[in-house]
Structure 1
């Protein structure tokens, strides 16, 4: 009897353990199924206005800027302007000591007078020789000699005249006048300093004159974005030194040659300088200020769009490989495998009846938040817009999802 009771107890214990194991297995199975339901956020595909923007950084500088360099060497004996002064076109900026150049003019004038006198004498001798030759009173050789003397004297006079003109030109360069209305934005030299002329080298840059009423931004646009930029594109500029204020500009020039930094290194960067004319009040701007510009390259109204993060890529599904005979050449197998390699397809995930469908799409222009869809959607679809991990790694076609919270839509217009 006791043995029978112990047997019944074992059966009860084992049964309870079995029920518990079955319950745990069911719990794990159901729990794993529940975990496969991926939480997502969604947004409706709808029409809006999209403005494509290229962002670039650069420096502010005047549209018109002239470096005033000495064309002749000497000591600065007059410097009537200082940095920050407004100057008018034709106003005296610099005077270099002229003594040496005055002496050179005097010497050249004396040489020219001497050469001119020699020319007059040679010309008179030549005319007399021609008269005597006409009367057959001298030989042809004498006529030719007189002609040669005249030609040499004429060349000498021309050379002396050119030397005098050059000496006068050098003397005139000892006084430098402003080539434009503007501001002395930089003054490099002081009264009494010696400066070098530009005759055989780059002359001393004495000062810089700039028209600060007309400013521009020199923006460095990457090689990938420069093809999107066109003359006349509207630009919004943020200047670091003037926080909270937007400056408006227009693209006026796009460089044809790139400016490369770090050539041949891993840090190599290729940019194209783009000049943006700033319109409106520029009184707060100074040359050399740092700026960031948003160049509006294209605007499309009433186009179908989705959040920019909703567009992702997936590798296309590969069809099951057909069985091959054991004796198939390895080269043929490799060729077939190469043919099956395709580029990833751009898709969005459309939510319907609690599941997602991967829909291939083609993109157009984009702004900082939305991208135009030119093919694949008709509008009104519920598009997965988050999370980033779900869109880019977790989701696959046909998976079950749970909509956590729809993103607020802004209607038409961005």
Structure 2
């Protein structure tokens, strides 16, 4: 029994020693205790072409669209056009009931005639006053001579002098009455002109040539109109040969948009036909939409998205194939159609690029020292976080952090320009997103999850 127990102890001790030796060798060889490499997605740094663009949505509108409102109120008694009609400048479009304005014109014309008659009466009064003045001047001279010769009394001389002064005043009064009558004529003629103009405005003519894009009234409808403010909108005339897209661009993107930029326009109505159109930026707003000068407007603008209007002309050569005069399709676009645009703001060829998903940001703490302005003493160093753009390069099974400088971004392809920090042919890690953005660290073991395992050679 004792011999068997000793033998068992030796066997157990040998096994323990073998296991211990195996653990030591496995740990040194990396078989035991080594962290399992993280599976990642990778791609190569390549040279190619990138196009940077700004995307926005908006509505198609005519470049020129005139809204027509009446200057006088009344009932529409004649309507000579319908929506979609082509009209020429100066063409009669509709009529407003003119009877009330005809009566005003007649009263004003009668007022002019009355003022002219009053002026003629004042003119005749001037002639009578002048004749009276001549007679009394002669009488005054005669009385003055007789008074000097002591033939008439002082009272008779003073009476003649008073009569002369009265005659002069009567002449001045007659002339003033004539001037007033002339001003009365001018006032009456102005009233007649105003009444005649209101009567003329009962006929609505086309101010420009184009297409009636909207007709908002019907025959017999009453409309409101004044000369001081816009009245009831009657209709709109537009030039449908020249159309534009009006979009709102975010303030972060507007700084990249310039006049003359090329634009790709995707109109929803033609999306099924896979048809896209070309355009060019013709106007970039200098003021944000809805911005005002008041403090309340400024406070409200901080809570909403700040956008600027951009207008894009659709080039006719890009939609000429849609025009079919035989079928009456002269204008492929209608006001109000929805469109999405890609404004091409930059384009580079033959540059290094990688997927956007490969680029992330990490912060490094930097110590800064500042002096106290009052005492001149040096303050305690403070740590500030400085963000840096980085990528992770796959080298010999580990991730190596590399700081890079990026350029333009191509949203359509999902690639970004690498200005410095990488070379063509290097392998960068592009995913998973959570690994690239948060978990990966410099020197961490990784493996390409899409790499194919090496095939074992078959022994013959």
Q: TM-score, normalised by structure 1?
A: 0.82
Q: Secondary structure at the match of 1:150?
A: helix
Q: Which residue of 2 aligns with 1:359?
A: 402
How far has the Cα of 1:275 moved from its partner? 0.7
Q: Deviations over 1:127-183 (max 9, x none)?
A: 765687689845343343233222322221111111111111101111111222222
Q: CA deviation at 1:24?
A: 8.0
The answer on whether the counterparts of 1:40 and 1:405 sit within 8 Å (CA) in structure 2 is: yes
- The equivalent residue for 2:8 is 9
Contact 1:242 1:284 in 2 (8 A): no
What residue is the counterpart of 1:288 in the other structure?
336
Q: Distance in 2 between matches of 1:250 and 1:295?
A: 8
1:253 equivalent in structure 2: 283
Aligned pairs for 1:331-350 within 5 A: 335-336=380-381, 338=382, 340-350=383-393
Select the residue among 119, 133, 141 that pairs with 2:169.
141
Which structure shows the bigger proportion of residues in helix conformation?
2
| 2-structure distance, mates of 1:56, 1:299 | 18
Q: Distance in 1 between matches of 2:104 and 2:248?
A: 50
Conserved? CA contact 2:40–2:430, under 8 Å: no
User: Are residues 1:187 and 2:186 paired?
Assistant: no
CA shift, 1:246, in A, is: 0.4
Unaligned runs of 5+ in 2: 138-163, 292-296, 323-330, 368-376, 452-460
Partner of 2:44: 43
Partner of 1:374: 419
Structure 1 residues not aligned, in runs of 5+:
320-331, 407-414
Partner of 1:297: 345
CA distance in 2, matches of 1:163, 1:147: 24
Instruction: State which of 268, 271, 280 in structure 1 corresponds to 2:304.
Output: 268
CA-atom RMSD, angstroms?
A: 3.3
Query: Counterpart of 1:324?
Result: none
Structure 2 Cα separation of the partners of residues 365 and 123 of structure 1? 87
The 1:318/1:178 distance shift into structure 2, 3 A limit, reads closer
1:12-411 correspondence to structure 2 within 5 Å: 12-13=11-12, 16=15, 30=31, 33-46=34-47, 48-126=48-126, 137=137, 138-139=164-165, 140-199=168-227, 202-243=230-271, 244-260=274-290, 264=300, 268-280=304-316, 281=319, 283-316=331-364, 335-336=380-381, 338=382, 340-368=383-411, 369-377=414-422, 379-405=424-450
Q: Which has the larger radius of gyration?
A: 2
Structure 2 distance, partners of 1:79, 1:384, is: 71
